[in-house]
Amino acid sequence: MFTSKEIRSTFIDFFKDRGHQFVPSAPVVPIGDETLLFINAGMNQFKDIFLGMTKPDYTRAANSQKCIRVSGKHNDLEEVGLDTYHHTFFEMLGNWSFDDYFKAEAIEWAWELLTKVYSIDPDKLWATVYEGDQTDGSDPDHEAAALWTKVTPIPKERVLYFGKKDNFWEMGASGPCGPCSEIHIDLGPDMCDRKHVAGHKCAVNSGCARFIELWNLVFIQFNRLGDGTLEKLPARYIDTGAGLERIAAVLQNKQSNYDTDLFMPIIDAIADLTGHEYTSSLES
Ligand code: GLY
């Protein structure tokens, strides 16, 4: 079994072995960026690099970023407490390419790490890609769809197209953005928490706990300007984000992120102090 510490260090080491520089987590309060209240993704600290305003000494980076999602475009406040896999504060594992490798390597390495290193059953994994948008003329990401079946053994039936809401990632109302490709895991029919919802059908992006997004691979190519228009960036970048708490739940065979070693020491201490026994985050 992987402890959360091992999941984190394995992720960083995997990407260091592939030429990535480890960059420590930035503080959760952004420095010099008034477009965000809190850091909401690993890529925030690299914003000026994406915009071509600064050039780092390295072209590949990896880290584990502390994130808070309680406001703005990425606000998980409404989900927290209602499901087993959203948090206001969480850690995002990520790898970045600054005008270096692009979609093929990002997809191949994410698959390799999940299935060969963390040993997640490949038959449980699904991928999604951007279906494009006629209203703004953005193209479907057929390139990413083709790469999934070229550089990984995933069958094409498990590569699905979705729209802007799920497969076009933006850091905020403005800033670097681009189409993305997500990796979801099917945890099996017993994990569905929407069986009581009329007409619910378990599927990727159907909002139930059976299918959970583990990792988002963003292909940053645009800057969203303050007036809402998209400006093409002079270079292409990779920006990925994987949920440490979600990967821990999968690798530790827990039905809830709260039952992993990231939360249980805190929950146990609270149970001790209050004299209330903790049963499971799945029981109310
Ligand atoms: N920047 C990628 C993500 O937050 O999903």
- For the chain, domains (ranges, CATH) are 4-269 (3.30.930.10)
- Which residues have C-beta atoms less than 6 Å from ligand 1? 41, 43, 169, 216, 218, 239, 241
Cβ-contact 180, 215 below 8 angstroms: no
Residue 165: pLDDT band by 50, 70, 90 thresholds?
A: very high
Looking at the predicted structure, is the pLDDT value of residue 279 above 90?
Answer: no
Q: Give tens-digit pLDDT for 173-199.
A: 999 999 999 999 999 999 999 999 999
| CA-wise closest residue to 94 among 187, 223, 180 | 180
Q: Mean of the per-residue pLDDT values for the chain? A: 95
Q: Considering the chain, what percentage of its residues have pLDDT values greater than 90?
A: 90
pLDDT-derived band of residue 265, with 50, 70 and 90 as boundaries?
very high
Ligand 1 pocket mutation, candidates 216, 222, 245, 246, criterion most atoms within 8 A of CB: 216
The Cα–Cα gap between 179 and 56 comes to 24
Residue whose CA lies nearest to ligand 1 atom number 2: 241
pLDDT above 80 for 259? yes
Asked whether 223 and 237 are in contact (CB, 8 A), the reply is: no
How do residues 206-254 score in pLDDT, each as one tens digit?
A: 999 999 999 999 999 999 999 989 999 999 999 999 999 999 999 999 9
Element (H, E) at 150: helix 142-151
Please give the pLDDT value at position 284.
47
Q: How far is CA 74 from the centre of its chain?
A: 12
Q: Which residues 6+ apart lie within 8 Å of 199 measured at CB? A: none
On whether the CB atoms of residues 183 and 215 are closer than 8 A, the answer is yes
Q: For residue 216, how far is its CA from the centre of ligand 1 (angstroms)?
A: 6
List, as one string, the DSSP characters of 256-280. Answer: SGGGSTTTHHHHHHHHHHHT-----
15: Cβ–Cβ under 8 A, 6 or more apart, which residues? 60, 62, 95, 109
Nearest CA to ligand 1 atom 3: 241
Count Cβ atoms within 10 A of the Cβ of residue 250 and give its class: 0-12 exposed, 13-18 middle, 19 or more buried: buried
Longest CA pairwise span in the chain (Å): 59
Helices then strands, counting H and E runs in the chain, come out as 7, 11
